[in-house]
Amino acid sequence: MTAKQKKPSGLGRGLGSILPDIDIDAAQGNTMAAAISEVPLEKVVANPYQPRKEFDEEALEELAQSVRQQGIITPVTVRRMPDGTYQLIAGERRTRAARRAGLTEIPAYIRVATDMQMMEMALVENIQRSDLGAIEVALAYKALIEECQLTHDQLSDRVGKNRSTITNYLRLLNLPAETQLALNGNRISMAHARALASVEDTALHLELLHTIVSRHLSVHQAEQLIKNAKTKPASKVKHRGELPEAHSEAQSRLKNRLQSAVEIKRSQRGKGSLTIHFNSDSDFERILALLENGGK
């Protein structure tokens, strides 16, 4: 179906008249060029840099119902690939809702962008969303710093956040896997996690985490608990066997390589377990692909 043919539009009411189709082919030589058009939903493919791992089904259905009534108010952002597909840069929730609503096309800003530009646009756009989890935001910050080679100050300018805010998020990735999972599952808040980050002893850290979760302690109560625990004589603190340096370094490398929480447990006799956590089926497939390809 061409742009000249009459068809039910996925655009919001009245939006089509002020956003006419533009020939994207004329802009292929400019990496910052953009055009707007309606693209077939069947040709829209997922964004490999999407930091969001889970999507609320009820919220998606509500959005789909809105799309059935009003259409897509805000176009998604895509880039056209050599094979004719359109890779999402931003707007995965809108795309999923459009499919549920039965649309066959979706209005899209078509950007001409390199892989690096696409990653940066996708991550920055997603970071601005209020419903992105703290660990997801932290991983997105980490990806921007490492893949786009940004300093903390440059990242601060890109995302409009204070440098201290970015540093606090990045510190979350140094927390034990169990604490990260508790934060990701909303069993503790980011303020709880920041308080726990001051406890470097892993055994004590996890003991305090379990107490905070089981007793549903407020942030103030948790901070007081942590303060009291840190002032106890060292002899009264229970110590479990710490990981040997080689195992600890391997755990850190795996966490960075897989961009997911990894936990290694080891007994004094050398027996143990390696646990890799994932947040959804798609996240599982991503990790599995990395493992099968040697982490490349």
Active site residues: 92
**Alpha helix stretches (DSSP H) within the chain:** 57-70, 92-100, 115-127, 134-147, 152-159, 163-171, 177-184, 190-196, 202-215, 219-230, 245-258, 281-292
DSSP string for 96-133:
HHHHHTT-SEEEEEEE---HHHHHHHHHHHHHT-TTS-
Distance CA 250, CA 272 (A): 14
How crowded is residue 32: how many other Cβ atoms within 10 Å of its Cβ?
9
Distance CA 197, CA 204 (A): 11
| Rounded (5°) CA angle 257-206-131 | 60
Residue entry with tokens 């099968």: 292
Distance CA 216, CA 219 (A): 10
Could you give the angle at which helices 134-147 and 177-184 cross, rounded to 10 degrees?
A: 120
